Amino acid sequence: MSQTRSRGRRADALSKDVVVHAAVELLDEHGERGFTFKLLTERLQTGAGAVYWHVANRDELVYLAADHVIGVALTGLSAEPGADPETRLRTLALHIYDTLDRHSWAAPHVIAAVTMPNTMLLLERIGGLLTETRLPAERHFALATTIFIYLTSVTAQDTARAATAEPGVDRDAMLGEEARRWAALDPATFPFVTRIAADLGHHDDRDQFATGLDLLLDGLRAQEGR
């Protein structure tokens, strides 16, 4: 049997969806730094050649995995009967935030691969809800992209912060140490920062995200009023 025919059979036994789904599972288990093609081929019980039939390299696979995560989230979000566009925007944003919080490795790639199908569908969903408001069409681009960037950037920042932690150091310990550094600053120069240092140590990331989201939506409502 020729090498080409053999490779074709291995590829037929595997689909891109199966490869991407396995990659998502491994990325959730090991993080992006711990994710390797060796782990992937062991999980799929196949050779590297069969995987490369479907994806060019590791970077492409991680992009596809991140886009898959967004697609699953959008599919699993049901419409709220009778809810106004602003309420549905808030629900959508919090749902995507929760998804990216569970798949913490994905957010930086959602930002980087903005032309991936499901990532574009997220932007489409945000923009579609804006078109149901009374906002003028010339404001839709700025507002839709602002909400999209805020949503993905906040989760990407949380991921970046977690990536700097030493092995075995959890979020609370890392924030507690950062809060102590804030509190140790000169209060004459940093009166505000030293005063809020304790809040940094025990704040809730989701509540912080929701606060910023509400500010954005308050601005949207104010523009509608004009």
For residues 74 and 91, what is the distance between their CA atoms, to the nearest angstrom?
Answer: 11
Residue extents of the structural domains in the chain: 1-55, 70-225
CB 145 within 8 A of CB 123: yes
- pLDDT digit string (tens) for 77-130? 877 777 888 899 999 999 999 999 899 899 888 876 567 899 999 999 999 999
For residues 43 and 197, what is the distance between their CA atoms, to the nearest angstrom?
Answer: 44
**144 burial type by CB count under 10 A (0-12 exposed, 13-18 middle, 19+ buried):** buried
CB 118 within 8 A of CB 71: yes
- pLDDT digit string (tens) for 35-47? 999 999 999 999 9
- For the chain, what percent of residues have pLDDT higher than 70? 86
The whole-number pLDDT of residue 77 equals 83
For residues 99 and 101, what is the distance between their CA atoms, to the nearest angstrom?
Answer: 5
Q: Please tell me the pTM assigned to this model.
A: 0.82
3-state secondary structure of 127: helix
The whole-number pLDDT of residue 224 equals 67
Q: Tell which CATH architecture fits domain 1-55.
A: Orthogonal Bundle (1.10)
The whole-number pLDDT of residue 158 equals 72
DSSP 45-110: TS-HHHHHTT-SSHHHHHHHHHHHHHHHHHHT----TT--HHHHHHHHHHHHHHHHHHTTTTHHHH
The whole-number pLDDT of residue 4 equals 41
Tell me the CA distances in angstroms from 154 to 52, 67, 113, 150, one per residue in order. 33, 17, 16, 6
Q: Sign of the CA dihedral 84, 136, 148, 201?
A: negative
- pLDDT digit string (tens) for 6-59? 344 344 468 999 999 999 999 999 988 899 999 999 999 999 999 999 999 999
Given the candidates 1.10.260.40, 3.80.10.10, 1.25.60.10, 1.10.357.10, the CATH classification of the domain at 70-225 is: 1.10.357.10
The whole-number pLDDT of residue 41 equals 94
For residues 41 and 14, what is the distance between their CA atoms, to the nearest angstrom?
Answer: 11
Tokens found for residue 12? 């037929």
- pLDDT digit string (tens) for 125-173? 999 999 998 888 888 898 899 999 898 888 777 766 666 656 666 777 8
The whole-number pLDDT of residue 226 equals 64
pLDDT at 183 over 70: yes
Tokens found for residue 26? 């491994």
List the single range of 22-36, 179-193, 206-220 with lowest mean pLDDT.
206-220
